[in-house]
Amino acid sequence: MSSYLTVATLESLLPFIAVGFAAQMVDGALGMAFGVISNTLLLWLGVPPALASAGVHTVETFTTAVSGISHTLHRNVNWKMFFRLMVPGVIGGVLGAYVLSNLKADTVKPYILAYLAAIGLYLLWRSTHYPPKERQPKIVEPLGLVGGFLDAAGGGGWGPVVTSNLLVQGASPRMTVGTVNTAEFFLTTTISATFITQLGWEAFTKATVGLLIGGVIAAPFGAILAKRVPAQRLMFLVGVILTLTSLFNLYQAIF
């Protein structure tokens, strides 16, 4: 009986493990989309929205830790940019978690998604006119603040906002992905702690456990892909993912 229950439990976890693995592979390689992909697929699998959002942020604490270590080992991190992103990102995350707990943030969401879709289309165009001249981004701290706020208040946004805008400013795709992923660990830890104080440990559902297993397994491979995939192709893939996810969520937000 116990072995049957173990097999049955494993089988019930498999869909969530697959979601976590796929989402983290994309996020680790492209610097975005774990939250968007996981939330969308969890809702499709029938997980209630509040538990889906809290669970995804809880899982990201662990997956971003593994991903950040892997990116560091592969030398994909610009440490100067890391600190410029991390500190305002944490501040924005705290503010966003407060807003989500007390106010409605859905009003501005369609405008943000339309903006991100436009950025995605621009990155697609830019990838076909590669190689552009790499430049040091000038606007960094405001991106961290806005990205952290949106990630907590809107259920996602750190990667799409920060990664895409750094690429638009001319940053190296590989170093951008690694740096944004590594800084995200501190952001998700802050947001998760805030959610746990509000929701308790109910965030640890079966879906959360499955996402955690799949995400942690996939995390080291994303850093390898970011290092080995050519910069032009990496930028093109970022543009594709950003455009498709933004348009899909924009459609859901409007209709």
CA distances to 15, 58, 235 from 31, in Å:
23, 18, 11
Q: Domain count for the chain, please give it.
A: 1
Q: How far apart are CA 172 and CA 175, in angstroms?
A: 5
CA-CA distance, 135 to 171, in Å (whole number)? Answer: 6
Which of 64-73, 89-98, 100-109, 230-239 is predicted with the least confidence, judged by mean pLDDT? 100-109
Distance of CA 57 to the CA centre of its chain: 9
Angle between helices 173-199 and 158-168 (to 10 degrees): 160
Between these two residues, 66 and 242, which has the higher pLDDT value? 66
Encode pLDDT of 160-203 as tens digits.
Answer: 889 888 988 888 888 998 999 899 888 888 877 776 676 566 55
pLDDT over threshold 90, residue 81: yes
CA atoms of 93 and 116, how far apart (whole Å): 19
Q: Where are the alpha helices (DSSP H) in the chain?
A: 2-30, 34-44, 49-73, 79-102, 109-128, 141-154, 158-168, 173-199, 206-228, 231-254
In the chain, the percentage of residues whose pLDDT exceeds 70 is: 81
Would you state the structure tokens that stand for residue 248, as one six-digit string? 């899909």
pLDDT in tens, 8-52: 566 778 888 888 898 888 888 777 778 777 777 776 777 666 667
What is the model's pLDDT at position 131? Answer: 59
pLDDT of residue 132: 61
Torsion of CA 101, 112, 166, 147, to 10 degrees: 0
> What residue has token string 């949106």?
150
| 3-state secondary structure (DSSP) of residue 236 | helix
DSSP string over 99-150: HHHHS--TTSHHHHHHHHHHHHHHHHHHHHTPPPPP---S--HHHHHHHHHH
Specify the amino acid at residue 153.
Answer: A
pLDDT, one tens digit per residue, over 118-146 is 878 887 887 777 556 778 888 899 999 98
Q: Does the structure show a pLDDT above 50 at 2?
A: no
Q: In this predicted structure, what is the pLDDT of residue 80?
A: 93
Rg of the chain, C-alpha, whole Å: 17
pLDDT > 60? residue 4: no
Helix axes 173-199, 49-73, angle to 10 degrees: 140
Q: From the DSSP assignment, how many helices (H) and strands (E) are in the chain?
A: 10, 0
Lowest-confidence segment of 67-81, 105-119, 201-215 by average pLDDT: 105-119
Q: Domain limits at 36?
A: 2-254
CA–CA gap between residue 250 and residue 34 (Å, rounded): 17
